[in-house]
Amino acid sequence: MAQEADAIVVGGGVIGLTTAVTLAERGLRVRVWSRDPAGATTSAVAGALWWPYRIEPAERVGAWSLETLAVYEELAAAGPGETGVRLVAGVHSGERFAALGPWAAELKGAVEVAEGLRVVLPLLDMPVHLAWLERRLVAAGGAVERRAAAGFGEAAERSPVVVNCTGLGARELVPDAGVRAVRGQLVVVENPGVEEWFTEADSASAATTYFFPQPGGLVLGGTAEADDERREPDPVTAREIVARCARVRPEIAGARVLGHRVGLRPVREGGVRIGAEALPGGGLLVHNYGHGGAGVTVAWGCARAAAALVG
């Protein structure tokens, strides 16, 4: 069969699209195979504040995160209406520099305040950002196909390089039994005037508290429910999310609900997998999956690490 591309990226979420853009802008003919439109991927549901949250391995995450932060700062300067990236101030409640990795020392203007760590960070409007990534890919000569891959061999027949950015799908496709779903539920309400984000996470609890002011409304969260694959919003959980956020900002209690979202974070035992292996037919399979709840945070750093394996 004639080869259609220099690289086929399987998976069209933020990791797949960012990796595809990185490869295409290095001169490769790239095609993305995505079962779902970008707006229907887990990435589109993300609250999407840059922060290394629930992601391993710790010794690599800091560098990937800072590399990605630098890109987002450039994209925010280019205009959020175009790229979906804004720089927004907020507070990580209860957070202290001493409890974070060396990467935290690189955060410009971050200060410890009574309630936690106050800092200006990238906040992404994911539907806008994903659409921008697709346009950037096409501008670099790439293309996105709506196509579900039954296996990597199918892609290898059409390209010498296959890049696995399938997230939760890697559980079956690799297969990798270490990949598991961590359910996240959000509520979107009419913004009652909240201009800053807020987070309060307890790693020992499945319940978290955060709100992010997005152009389409105030996004309230959230949950981190391991091995729970329900994709429908739970009404009781939704009420609890609103109540937790309203304890921080009381005006949220009366805000009109605009919608509900559920996403399954692709967490992997051992953390992110970036590596390469030979395919039976002689092709190269590059892995870039297992980003948990921080795919947005490490997208560019991981894309460049995966691209380096392509050569």
Residue 178 has what DSSP assignment?
Answer: T
Contact 167, 272 (CB under 8 A): no
Distances (CA, A) of 126 to 80, 94, 150: 11, 27, 27
Positive or negative, the CA dihedral 173, 276, 264, 181 is positive
Q: Any binding-site annotation on 275?
A: no
Q: Any binding-site annotation on 34?
A: no
Residue 257, strand partner residues: 189
Q: Any binding-site annotation on 289?
A: no
Q: Any binding-site annotation on 81?
A: no
Element (H, E) at 91: strand 85-93
Q: Any binding-site annotation on 295?
A: yes
Prior bond of 169 cis (ω within 30°): no
Q: Any binding-site annotation on 41?
A: no
Helical segments of 202-257, H only: 235-248
Q: Any binding-site annotation on 42?
A: yes
Prior bond of 84 cis (ω within 30°): no
Look at the block and give the residue holding tokens 């410890």.
112
Token pair in block for residue 119: 């800092």
Phi-psi group of 180: left, alpha or beta (phi > 0 → left; psi -120 to 50 → alpha; rest → beta) = beta
**Angle made by CA atoms 231, 272, 279, in degrees to the nearest 5:** 100
Q: Any binding-site annotation on 151?
A: no
Q: Any binding-site annotation on 43?
A: yes
Annotated binding site: 42-43, 166, 210, 265, 292-297
Annotated binding site for D-dopa: 210, 265, 293
Annotated binding site for FAD: 42-43, 166, 292-297
